[in-house]
Amino acid sequence: MKNMPTLLAPAGSMRPLQTALRFGADAVYCGAKQYGLRAQANNFDELELAEAVRLAHGAGAQVNLTLNIFAFDGDLAGMIRTAQMAKEIGVDAVIVSDLGAIASIARKVPELDIHVSTQANTTNSESARVYRALGAKRVVLAREMTFEQIEAMARELDGEIELETFIHGAVCMSHSGRCMLSSFLNGRSGNRGACSQPCRWTYTLTERTRPDEPMPIEEDERGTAILSSRDMCMMDHLPRLMESGVGCFKIEGRMKNELYIATVVGAYRRAMDAYAADPAAYAANETLRKQLRAELDKISHRVYDTGFYFGQPQVAGEAAGTQQEAEYMGYVLDVSGGDALVEMKNRFFVGDELETVTPAGSEKLCIDDIVIDATGEHVGVVSVPKTLVRIPCGGKLQAGDMLRGPVRNRK
């Protein structure tokens, strides 16, 4: 391992950003109110982005801003103004996919680092050199590349330009995310930040002369999601990633909540640190590796696979539904006097055994008492989301930690 890779986490709003920093991200990527590919995320206005930069830099981390739409002529002036604003408030880099936007930003905001988005579909070293010549500092590799191709490209470039690759999260059904399905079906372009994710919808097959006789494509009464990809999970292959020559590992998920961010960032952070400290010990510690991999099953996800890292991925099919082994119960706002002030997310009862979610890992926490913060009333259950309650925590929680528990039938 030449250098310790950095861990880049998504942040769709302020709380996920704070969570990513708390759980060990070296950098976060977020969107402004325009020009990014997650228009449905809350994103950041200028004041919020300045606060995000302040928090990240205070934690020794960086902020990358997404400006990765496919731009029309009418977009370029606004993108450049946004890039200029980003540089003025201390953003470390912008993530850009459009060739003209890359050239324009490099020319007009030369002090701002440019990272070439995965949407640009960089799959070879000569493309990376072209982007470097235009002023880019880093390329985010196309998700269609295999381990062998990534390793060979890293050797060929030998540090000429930084390389970044996705290691976890949802994957688009189209080549490098360049999809027209959402635009075609409902006029919302995924290449302009407004994807409605129709690849996740369920479908049936019809024969032209029998339009009223839909046929399910698989044995699922809801239809099939043959267009829907599985989610990527590379935890089992972390050692090879660490030795691949890639300088930054990227987690997908700017639409995800803070529990997802905490779980994924926390697991990969602990794995990366353990491997960097002693590769042989990490390889021998099967208990730790299984524990970290199991963490990733706790969050909501589709069936996991390894994307294209080992060649063509499996046909999705079964990826239609989501899986999760734990549910988000509460977010810790403050801890004082042995009690935690918790913003409730899902119903829990006195007597429940929940799990803490902290940067150090998780442990059991029995709920011995629940007190409604606003009234001081002791209750046996809290059922209304966002209710603030106090619970004894025995020193197991700090502000910014979370609680999770068993998935319940809400009927």
Q: pLDDT digit string (tens) for 17-43?
A: 999 999 999 999 999 888 765 555 568
Residues 280-291: tens digit of each pLDDT: 999 999 999 999
Q: Are 320 and 370 in contact (CB under 8 A)?
A: no
Higher pLDDT, 151 or 182: 151
Residues 141-178: tens digit of each pLDDT: 999 899 999 999 999 999 999 999 999 998 766 656 55
Q: Cα-flanking dihedrals φ and ψ of residue 187, to 5°?
A: 75, 15
Residues 226-272: tens digit of each pLDDT: 566 789 999 999 999 999 999 999 999 998 999 999 999 999 999 99
pTM (2 d.p.): 0.88
Closest CA to 258 of 328, 317, 196, 201: 328
Residues 317-352: tens digit of each pLDDT: 454 567 889 999 999 999 999 999 999 999 999 999
Q: Percentage of the chain surpassing pLDDT 70? A: 83
Residues 89-126: tens digit of each pLDDT: 999 999 999 999 999 999 999 999 999 999 899 999 99
The beta strand positions in 235-387, using DSSP E, are 248-251, 304-305, 327-336, 339-344, 348-349, 353-357, 364-366, 370-372, 378-379, 381-382
Higher pLDDT, 62 or 410: 62
Average pLDDT taken over every residue of the chain: 89
| Range name among 58-62, 176-180, 221-225, 346-350 with the lowest pLDDT average | 221-225
The beta strand positions in 88-137, using DSSP E, are 93-96, 113-116
Q: Are 30 and 44 in contact (CB under 8 A)?
A: yes
Q: What is the pLDDT of residue 202?
A: 66
Q: In a 3-state reduction of DSSP, which class is residue 231? A: strand
Q: Domains in the chain, please, with CATH?
A: 6-175+229-312 (3.20.20.70), 327-405 (2.40.30.10)
Q: Are 15 and 41 in contact (CB under 8 A)?
A: no
Mean pLDDT of 176-189: 59
